[in-house]
Structure 1
């Protein structure tokens, strides 16, 4: 698989490109055509969620560094931040149930000896907590898969956009080889 084309900014900053000024200008115009020129905005629901808001600010800063914090990516980034916050919430709930399960297990003897709960009630409670932990873990895994899918697609979209930009200037003249092959 060939190396993807470098963006205009990288080519200019390296100052050692073999491309002509025409090719560089064409590349710059192609990259500019792929953006709206409008910065991403944070949605209301993301602003109101502290974890999503923090993630949005982090991503916005990173995307601004590479000149990709464009409004065209706004919906995906906002959705990503909300899913990230949901994932974090499920992880906290899972940890809370896990701590409760550990506490129940460590206090088993005391609870049964003092006759606060019966042995069957203890095992039912333990089973219910374990089931809840497993269900929360399934939710976390599905949220993580969503995050990974968005991350992959976002990276692939940027790479695909860069590949769509023509690398070379189309010559106005006909290629002598093509003329000869056409019989002219």
Structure 2
């Protein structure tokens, strides 16, 4: 995977006026001009809604509050809510496992079998959370929501100053 294209702002030091105008027009053509809207599924989920309310103003501040990003951002918010649900489920399993270890009413072999099943459930919840976090991270990288992805848009070095004598010699 190569380096992503630079925005018009990122090209300002390196491009000619015509190239810059063409890039700005192309970027503008990709935006819908409509604001990002919260989907019903997100609005109906308390944790997802809270995440949407956190992320939307941040995206607006960097000019990414566009309907073009709507599905991705709503999916991101739902993934965040699902992560929270799995984290709560995992904590419940851990509490139940602790209680099971202290329960002397059960036959030791029966208790061991239940403990093994609970530990398997805890690992399963961990694996699901990790998969969802990976999906979230992929979205964060794609939408410039990480430091590294945001920095990829910033020009690495200023444009090299051309020696004025070379321009005169070349035109002579």
Q: What TM-score, normalized to structure 2?
A: 0.72
Matches within 5 A, 1:1-184: 5=6, 7-8=8-9, 22=17, 26=21, 27-105=23-101, 107-108=102-103, 111=104, 116-155=105-144
Per-residue CA distance 1:65-94 (angstroms, 9 max, x = gap) = 011110000011111111111111011100
Q: What SS does the aligned partner of 2:37 have?
A: coil
Per-residue CA distance 1:31-64 (angstroms, 9 max, x = gap) = 3222111001100010000110111111111000
Q: 1:2 to 1:137 in 2, by over 3 A?
A: closer
Name the larger-Rg structure.
1
2:170 alignment counterpart: none
The higher relative CO (CA closer than 8 Å, separation ≥ 6) is in 1
Aligned length: 150
Q: What TM-score, normalized to structure 1?
A: 0.67
| Runs of 5+ consecutive residues of structure 2 not aligned to the other structure | 156-172
Q: What SS does the aligned partner of 2:56 have?
A: helix
| Runs of 5+ consecutive residues of structure 1 not aligned to the other structure | 12-16, 164-184
